Amino acid sequence: MTTSPFLPFTRPSIDEATIAAVGEVLRSGWITSGPKVRDFEAQLSALFGGRPVRALSSATGGMEIALALAGVGADDEVITTPLSWVATANVVLRAGARPVFVDCDARTRNIDLELIEAAITPRTRAIMPVDLAGLPVDRDRLYAIATARRLRVIEDAAQSMGANWAGRMIGSCGDLVSISFHANKNITSAEGGCLVLNDEEEARRCELWRLQGAVRHGDSWEGMDVTLAGGKHNLTDIAACIGLGQLPHLAAFTARRRELARRYFARIDRSLGCELPLEDYTQSNWHMFQLLLPEGAERGVFISEMRAAGIGIGVHYPAMHLFTLFRRLGFGPGDFPVAERIGRSIVSLPMFAVMQDGDVDRVLAALPAAVAAATKTRAASGARRA
């Protein structure tokens, strides 16, 4: 057992100025959506080149609203990846549509753009790509397909804050872009997210979907109307205050994550047989640093061994089409072999902005024994079955 402090796979960085600012919001008496939310939206809009932005209680809510804005509904289809947090496909089902999974590219672990055309049918209304671990999907190829087939693009950019494609920050271009500020993201508002929109009319409709479809004309309740069955997706001023404190650190956080990724690549023992992520220090924000364990290794054993060494490990993500919900829709093993291979082997190593170089070295020092134990357990289990 280790005597060193436990090293989690992620940890938010909240400075004292932000903590103090949250206290001021609490003392102000205005803790739900108000001036801090408006300020947060304005700063996000400036970051994204002046595009309209609406702050929300989650990126999941952002995708739900984006689907509504795109007119996706009953019997429609949305093309997406099976390798993501399950929210990506759940929102499609909640809209009454069907998720159509496309397998992953083995190198990027993102949706395989070469396979999208074959998945398009007359019912397809949108493509929903995911930037796994903050590595952007090729936006040029993606939008070429979408434009040619007259499809909306709803970017599940939950993991993409601070990433860019060809020098253009994710969110500054494209169609509908949903970004997360969850506690484990590169910048956080504790919980929350935002939706980047195309114009002010779309932003106005987003506001309706964000808060019960309610419209008020002036300050009087007599002037209230409800025009659609919206949801409850508004962000609080408390959360927005945290986000405002995080935004000035975005560039530094991204740069530090890239430094940590470089150290992982430079010092990892490649003879262990783990498959490394794509090495990208210009576009990826390194939201996570993910390895694929050697084929057949027992992931549970690996995680237990690393935890015994005082190191937290994440799993992002199992291939979602193998969950009961999606098996009921007819999906099953073998449908998307690349995603399945990645999903059963992937692990997320510690990666967060305040990690020290020595923390990376500590993780890498623990890897050989953990991989060996996981591989040995699998081999022993196979021998017993034989």
Q: Residues 259-269: pLDDT tens digits? A: 999 999 999 99
| 193: helix, strand or coil | strand
Q: Quote the pLDDT of residue 379.
A: 58
Q: What is the pTM of this model?
A: 0.95
Neighbouring residues of 367: CB distance < 8 A, sequence distance ≥ 6? 268, 269, 272, 274, 306
102 secondary structure, DSSP code: -
d(CA 91, CA 80): 12
d(CA 320, CA 280): 26
Tell me: pLDDT of 383 over 50. no
> What Cα–Cα distance (Å) separates residue 278 from each residue in 54, 165, 332, 342, 379?
32, 15, 28, 14, 29
pLDDT in tens, 267-276: 999 999 999 9
Q: Which fold has domain 16-248?
A: Aspartate Aminotransferase; domain 2 (3.40.640)
Query: Which regions of the chain carry the CATH code 3.40.640.10?
Result: 16-248
Residue 292 — very low, low, confident or very high, per pLDDT cuts 50/70/90? Answer: very high
For residue 114, what are its two tokens? 């070469």
Query: Which regions of the chain carry the CATH code 3.90.1150.10?
Result: 249-385
pLDDT in tens, 175-230: 999 999 999 999 999 999 999 999 999 999 999 999 999 998 776 667 899 999 99
In the residue annotation, 185 being an active-site residue is answered as yes
Q: Quote the pLDDT of residue 386.
A: 45
Tell me: pLDDT of 322 over 60. yes
pLDDT in tens, 131-164: 999 999 999 999 999 999 999 999 999 999 999 9
Which candidate in 36, 185, 232, 376 is catalytic?
A: 185
CATH 2.102.10.10 fits 249-385, yes or no: no
Tell me: pLDDT of 299 over 50. yes
d(CA 127, CA 83): 15
pLDDT in tens, 5-54: 999 999 999 999 999 999 999 999 999 999 999 999 999 999 999 999 99
> What Cα–Cα distance (Å) separates residue 375 from each residue in 204, 273, 274, 300, 360?
55, 11, 11, 11, 22
